[in-house]
Amino acid sequence: MSDSQHESASPALREVVLVDCPDEVGLIHRITGVLADHRFNIESNQEFVD
């Protein structure tokens, strides 16, 4: 990458999404579908069920 390309490239934004709700069938599918619709990329996923 040239210096001019490097200077104009913006760093990737990173966000943490925390969802706290009752467990149900299809929940992960629905959540990831919303993120995909908005062109988010999921780099890591952790699930915890009480």
Is residue 26 left, alpha or beta, with left meaning phi > 0 and alpha meaning psi from -120 to 50?
Answer: left
Residue 4 pLDDT more than 70? no
Domain residue spans of the chain:
13-50
Amino acid letter, 14? R
Amino acid letter, 22? P
Residue 44 pLDDT more than 70? yes
Tell me how far apart the alpha carbons of residues 34 and 42 are, in angstroms, rounded to a whole number.
12
**How does DSSP classify residue 50?**
-
- The pLDDT assigned to 13 comes to 85
Tell me how far apart the alpha carbons of residues 35 and 30 are, in angstroms, rounded to a whole number.
9
pTM for the whole structure: 0.64
Residue 2 pLDDT more than 90? no
Question: Model confidence over 6-36: pLDDT tens digits?
Answer: 555 667 788 999 999 999 999 999 999 999 9
**Rounded average pLDDT over 37-48:** 92
